[in-house]
Amino acid sequence: MANRQSQKLTVIVPREVLRRARRSTKAGITPTVVKGLQILAAHDAYEGLRSLRGKVKFSMTWQELRGDE
């Protein structure tokens, strides 16, 4: 089932943390860990976007974009 793009690893995780994460994802252990790692990997991108809050100027208003004006 594993392919060359995967890496097998062993981790020690507190049971309660894993239980809560699996309840959140409604998935098994591997998909839950993968989802958590994807979220962690995207953290820098989220921080970069948050740093732009209020600094981006648009040429159109949101009303013009929706066609309200």
> pLDDT tens-digit profile of 25-44?
999 999 999 999 999 999 98
pLDDT score recorded for residue 7: 93
Give the domain ranges of the chain. Answer: 29-53
Is the predicted pLDDT of residue 21 greater than 70, yes or no?
Answer: yes
Q: Encoding tokens for residue 21?
A: 């994460």
The pLDDT of 53-59, averaged and rounded, is: 82
* Predicted TM-score of the model (pTM): 0.64
What angle is formed at CA 34 by the lines to CA 48 and CA 30, rounded to 5 degrees?
170
pLDDT score recorded for residue 56: 78
Taking each helix axis from N to C end, the angle separating 43-51 and 29-41, rounded to the nearest 10 degrees, works out to: 40
Find where tokens 């998935």 sit: 27
Rg for the chain, CA atoms, rounded:
20
The pLDDT of 56-61, averaged and rounded, is: 84
